[in-house]
Amino acid sequence: MSEQEKQSFFSKVRHVVTDFIYGMASHEMARQALKTRGSMEHLFILITMGDLLGVPILPPYYSLRLLPYVVPQVSTWKRRMLREKDLTDALA
């Protein structure tokens, strides 16, 4: 095994161990933070862009003003909103 191969091997091992410890210790925390943010955004888009799903809450004038800022998230938001949900999802 050459010096370069050795270095690459050890760096790979270190990477795997670091990821494993992160997965055990912090991954759940990171997911939870994202979920909290996600549910806030979910509600925000529902209030501002509800008419995309047939739930008009805000007058369309304001929705149109906000639309350019929300466009990048509209497709994932609609998918989350309309996806069939089950109680066992809550265990995730």
> Which residues of this protein are in contact with another protein, per CB under 8 A?
15-16, 19-29, 31-38, 76-77, 79-80, 83-84, 86-92
Query: 16 or 64, CB closer to another protein?
Result: 16
The minimum distance between CB 12 and another protein, in angstroms, equals 10
Query: 54 or 79, CB closer to another protein?
Result: 79
- As a whole number of angstroms, the distance between CA 16 and CA 1 comes to 20
- As a whole number of angstroms, the distance between CA 10 and CA 25 comes to 22
CA-based nearest residue to 64, from 51, 77, 54, 79: 51
Query: 6 or 27, CB closer to another protein?
Result: 27
